[in-house]
Structure 1
Amino acid sequence: MQPTRLFRIFLVFALLGLGLSANAADRPLIGCDLALDQKILPAGSPQSVVIKVSLDVPVIPRETVRPPVNLALVFDRSGSMSGSKIEKARQAAIEALRRLGSGDLFSLVVYDHQVQTLVSAQSAANTEWIETQIRGIQPGGNTALFGAVGQGAAEVRRHVDQPYVHRVILLSDGLANVGPSAPEDLARLGAALLKEGISVTTIGIGTDFNEDLMTRLAARSDGNHYFVEDSRDLSRIFAAELGDVLSVAARRVVVEVECPAGIRPLRVIGREGRIRGNRVEIQMNQLYGGQEKFALIEVEVPASRSGQIMELATASCSYENALTARVEKSSARIQARFSVSQAEVREGADKAVQEAVVENE
């Protein structure tokens, strides 16, 4: 069945699968909320404050008809993967394949010092033949990681204009030592793929892989990053990742934050963002059911007198509802109050936001 026909069927039944009433269907699926690391600010001097923009996604019932997935698995077969690592990785890849449906696409790229496409993008229903290709993967030489991710993305790109959830999963236990290998190189690749609607999830095995490289590639493409010390945990990690991919609720997410005159955005913490004057724009590829995703923005606030309440920002989140294919929008605004009371200022601290800042610096 063609993807376009599948998607039409999907649109007809999506709302019924969610059990939504007509009134509920008119409300945005994704909630937008703003919080400050310091709700009450000391009066009398300029200062900076961090705004947390939270996007809350409802849990998607398992029986809901989901959008189809376009998945490329990029598999490290370098020499260091020999033994139980490659055996467990092959089994985890097969289990991941079996979680996909006939309407999903699957491709497989393997790499050592060379990059090879073993399975070009095709229906995941070809399970038996694809499993044979996976079982035949054997360890080889060095690690051409950059080229392998690029080739995996090329397989996904063949269908990027169709209504799939587009994802590359990179599995590696080593350092990139063939081709571009600096974390900055992979970060730029991730940012470029995000603009195409392709996210990269990275799975690092053992203790020898370049964590900075893998983390930045995933973060810049709005993917996930996992660390697996024991290859026996790979099946669990693949199950968790496929659980995310198969529960996408929103795509092409754009968060815009606008500050009034006098409030100056300084930086976006922990993710890519664009600052233009008093406006900030942040792109996210996908949101998953049951997930809270957030962005942190530091802004400069001018001095103000005690008792004054000042509006700091208005945020809007626009996205494509993956369950209905409609473009939706939600919004929120945030204010702060100023005080000369040190006790009030201390009580106005939001520990959860402050912890998020520390974790994402």
Structure 2
Amino acid sequence: MKANYSLSHSLIAIDTETTLDLILNFNAEEQVQASNRRSLNLSLVIDRSGSMAGQPLRYAIEAAQKLVESLNPDDIVSVVIYDDSAETILPPQKAADKAKISAQINRIRAGGCTNLSGGWLMGCECVKSQKTEERLNRVLLLTDGKANMGVTNPQALTKTAKQQAERGIITTTLGFGTNFNEDLLIDIADAAGGNFYFIQSPDDAVDVFRIELESLTSVVAENLTVTIRPEASVQISEVLNKYQSTTQGKASEILLGDVYQIEAKQLALQLLIPPQKNPGPLTIATIEYQYQTTIDDNIQQVSGQVPITITVGSAEEASRTKADMSVLEQTSQLRIARLKNEAIAMADRGQYKEAAEVLRSQVDELKSKLLNEIFEVAEEIAQLEYYAQRIENRKLDSASRKEMRDQSYQTLNRSRDDLKLRGSTAGNADSLEAVSTTEGGVLVKCFREGGKLRVRVISEGYNSEFNVQFPRGIRQEGVSYVVDEMKLSANGSFYRATGKIRRLVEPGQEKAVTPEKAKSQKLAAVKATGGWEDLETVDTVGDGVVIQCIKEKSKLRARVVSDGYNPDFNIRFPRNIRAEGVLYVVDEVRESADGKSYISYGKVRRLLQ
């Protein structure tokens, strides 16, 4: 493995206290062929609770099947499903008969509540039964809801994740939709030494599974640990990434975890250097690192050392030395990621104005450094302005909060471009003036690409491959816009939309005003004629609530299995359509007057799987 570093400044002024940024990169030294990679011992743990019914579960099944297709015949795979209880539907076995494994996964059906701990720990046991030092031992835990059965205490779950990691079983968590607890899944992933992903929509599942499998199958080093030993006069003022660390005196030991062939493992620090009296080269720190890797089919410990040096020169020389913009860009994005977490915490406490100000102050700082001439930073600015507005207006909904946490997590822990700034919560273009002609303007369109909303130029004479810097708040997938002018960035790598922005509509709709959402009708309690076979069928849940019928002794009991409801409450639901195991979707569920049961309202439909 290769280790190298970059400093934000290559020369500092004599007799001057200096703060600078240091980035360490650890890269694979050579390409590892897929056929020679370490075998996997993998357990897929899939949430099949009622809220996963329909489209979400179908896409999760498809993603799991594609992952199995990509395994080597000698890889070990098991599949655990869970709702109220957990079940191993595929005991640990070699991935030789992929058709058989895929068929088993295809039989998964939804129903019940979310016993996350039960499913996860059963997956850990599957991995434990086949665990060897030569294999990569991993659990992939997918959920779309909050743990509401089994062990539900976040601290207990996080502690268990750390204990499993100490036994060599790493867990990656995948949150699906908008109902899961992102703070819990991130804490589990951090404690377990794995990764976290926000699967923003059902069709995003396959892509996210692909990214995780690419990571797993390209591990070139495990347990990378870095010790930073600053020289006597130098201080580590900040560690910008979010890794587990310990301090001994002035030295810091940081656990970076796995290193993947396909992406560099990065560590960023801020150093404080006191005034130096002598010009010339100066060693400011020594970096020691160690990791485990496979050499000649054996796991071996490897270590290395890198001295960090800088040049001390005159004040004039320092003023002529330009900062490394690439380093400033990367460390700025890391600081932004930390600020997003800070803003979320403030918003959670009700400090909306202060949280918005934290984000906006960072926008001003980025612009003052001219970093907005780099597209990734310009895009970050658009994100910050968007989230600041939502927080200030108290509209930081569940999806937006998850996006912010996901963006922060990926920036602080990963260096893959396809994981940066993922976010596709719908903006709203309805407030824009509507026109039916592009005359006098430039036509652009908003697309969803790999979990991101991107804008490209459609008009001739422009590079359609270039991204367009565009306000995040009005981005809406599939919508076309007419912009007064398109300006090329200073570095010639992207466009900026300037002037007035209008929405392009069909002729005759130019003056159309977006109708207000119809006020919700006063819903009546659910009624139905005939039997369950006579109900209208649907294959998606949408904004509805999922109800399941279960057999309890001689009675058929209806209960709510969508997240956010108490599964122990009885619910008023027509007896004539109850059938064991059937899932239903109703428009609304409300608590009864005494707060001890539920009543179903609106239309009832049968959910197909």
TM-score (norm 2): 0.49
Deviation at 1:101, TM superposition (A): 2.2
Q: Which residue is 1:161 aligned to?
A: 132
Q: Which residue is 1:206 aligned to?
A: 177
CA RMSD of aligned residues (A): 3.0
Structure-to-structure mapping, 1:256-295, within 5 angstroms = 256-266=227-237, 268=239, 269-295=241-267
Report the Cα distance in structure 2 between the residues aligned to 1:196 and 1:264, rounded to whole angstroms. Answer: 35
The structure-2 alpha-carbon separation of the partners of 1:160 and 1:295, relative to structure 1 and needing over 3 Å to count, comes to farther
Q: Aligned letter for 1:277?
A: G
Partner secondary structure for residue 244 of structure 2: coil
8 Å CA contact 1:265–1:275 kept in 2: the answer is no
Q: Which has the larger radius of gyration?
A: 2
Report the Cα distance in structure 1 between the residues aligned to 2:321 and 2:261, rounded to whole angstroms. Answer: 36
Report the Cα distance in structure 1 between the residues aligned to 2:81 and 2:229, rounded to whole angstroms. Answer: 44
Residue by residue over 1:174-207, the C-alpha shift from the partner in whole angstroms, topping out at 9 and shown as x without a partner, is 223332343x555444444443333322222222
Q: Which residue is 1:105 aligned to?
A: 76
Match among 139, 147, 153 for residue 176 of structure 1: 147
The structure-2 alpha-carbon separation of the partners of 1:64 and 1:313, relative to structure 1 and needing over 3 Å to count, comes to farther
Using the aligned pairs only, state the percent identity: 25
The structure-2 alpha-carbon separation of the partners of 1:77 and 1:333, relative to structure 1 and needing over 3 Å to count, comes to same
Partner secondary structure for residue 60 of structure 1: coil
Number of residue equivalences = 331
Q: Which residue is 1:224 aligned to?
A: 195
8 Å CA contact 1:194–1:285 kept in 2: the answer is no
The structure-2 alpha-carbon separation of the partners of 1:359 and 1:114, relative to structure 1 and needing over 3 Å to count, comes to farther
Partner secondary structure for residue 110 of structure 2: coil
Match among 312, 325, 347 for residue 323 of structure 2: 347
Residue by residue over 1:230-276, the C-alpha shift from the partner in whole angstroms, topping out at 9 and shown as x without a partner, is 21232222222212212222223222222222334455431111211
Match among 145, 156, 180 for residue 116 of structure 2: 145
8 Å CA contact 2:83–2:114 kept in 1: the answer is yes
The structure-2 alpha-carbon separation of the partners of 1:357 and 1:88, relative to structure 1 and needing over 3 Å to count, comes to closer
- Using the TM superposition, name which of 80-89 and 338-347 deviates more: 338-347
Structure-to-structure mapping, 1:1-361, within 5 angstroms = 30-41=1-12, 49-58=20-29, 60-62=31-33, 64-178=35-149, 179-182=151-154, 185-266=156-237, 268=239, 269-305=241-277, 307=279, 309-322=281-294, 324=296, 325=298, 326-337=300-311, 340=315, 343-344=319-320, 347=323, 350-361=327-338
Partner secondary structure for residue 253 of structure 2: strand
Q: Aligned letter for 2:335?
A: V
Report the Cα distance in structure 1 between the residues aligned to 2:164 and 2:183, rounded to whole angstroms. Answer: 18
Report the Cα distance in structure 1 between the residues aligned to 2:139 and 2:270, rounded to whole angstroms. Answer: 31
The structure-2 alpha-carbon separation of the partners of 1:129 and 1:295, relative to structure 1 and needing over 3 Å to count, comes to same
8 Å CA contact 1:49–1:298 kept in 2: the answer is yes
Q: For structure 2, list consecutive stretches of 5 or more residues without a partner in the other structure.
A: 339-609
The structure-2 alpha-carbon separation of the partners of 1:123 and 1:141, relative to structure 1 and needing over 3 Å to count, comes to same
Deviation at 1:69, TM superposition (A): 0.5
Residue by residue over 1:91-112, the C-alpha shift from the partner in whole angstroms, topping out at 9 and shown as x without a partner, is 2212212222221111222222
Report the Cα distance in structure 2 between the residues aligned to 1:175 and 1:37, rounded to whole angstroms. Answer: 43
Partner secondary structure for residue 322 of structure 1: strand
8 Å CA contact 2:226–2:254 kept in 1: the answer is yes
8 Å CA contact 2:268–2:331 kept in 1: the answer is no
Deviation at 1:66, TM superposition (A): 1.4
The structure-2 alpha-carbon separation of the partners of 1:357 and 1:108, relative to structure 1 and needing over 3 Å to count, comes to same
The structure-2 alpha-carbon separation of the partners of 1:356 and 1:322, relative to structure 1 and needing over 3 Å to count, comes to farther
The structure-2 alpha-carbon separation of the partners of 1:305 and 1:327, relative to structure 1 and needing over 3 Å to count, comes to same
Report the Cα distance in structure 2 between the residues aligned to 1:140 and 1:34, rounded to whole angstroms. Answer: 51
Report the Cα distance in structure 2 between the residues aligned to 1:146 and 1:46, rounded to whole angstroms. Answer: 52
TM-score (norm 1): 0.79
Q: Which residue is 1:26 aligned to?
A: none
Q: Which has the higher contact order (CA 8 A, sep 6+)?
A: 1
The structure-2 alpha-carbon separation of the partners of 1:225 and 1:42, relative to structure 1 and needing over 3 Å to count, comes to farther
8 Å CA contact 2:7–2:21 kept in 1: the answer is yes
8 Å CA contact 2:224–2:290 kept in 1: the answer is yes
Report the Cα distance in structure 2 between the residues aligned to 1:353 and 1:333, rounded to whole angstroms. Answer: 22
Residue by residue over 1:116-152, the C-alpha shift from the partner in whole angstroms, topping out at 9 and shown as x without a partner, is 3333322222545433432222212222324433332
Residue by residue over 1:206-230, the C-alpha shift from the partner in whole angstroms, topping out at 9 and shown as x without a partner, is 2222223223333443423322222
8 Å CA contact 2:185–2:196 kept in 1: the answer is yes
Partner secondary structure for residue 329 of structure 2: helix
Residue by residue over 1:303-341, the C-alpha shift from the partner in whole angstroms, topping out at 9 and shown as x without a partner, is 434746542221133223335334333332212445646
Q: Aligned letter for 1:114?
A: S
Report the Cα distance in structure 1 between the residues aligned to 2:265 and 2:60, rounded to whole angstroms. Answer: 29
Deviation at 1:58, TM superposition (A): 4.4
Report the Cα distance in structure 1 between the residues aligned to 2:148 and 2:13, rounded to whole angstroms. Answer: 51
Q: Aligned letter for 1:106?
A: V
Deviation at 1:172, TM superposition (A): 1.5
8 Å CA contact 2:8–2:323 kept in 1: the answer is no
Report the Cα distance in structure 2 between the residues aligned to 1:180 and 1:43, rounded to whole angstroms. Answer: 57
Q: Aligned letter for 1:278?
A: K
Residue by residue over 1:39-67, the C-alpha shift from the partner in whole angstroms, topping out at 9 and shown as x without a partner, is 44566565654432210124625455111
Deviation at 1:159, TM superposition (A): 3.3
Report the Cα distance in structure 1 between the residues aligned to 2:279 and 2:259, rounded to whole angstroms. Answer: 39
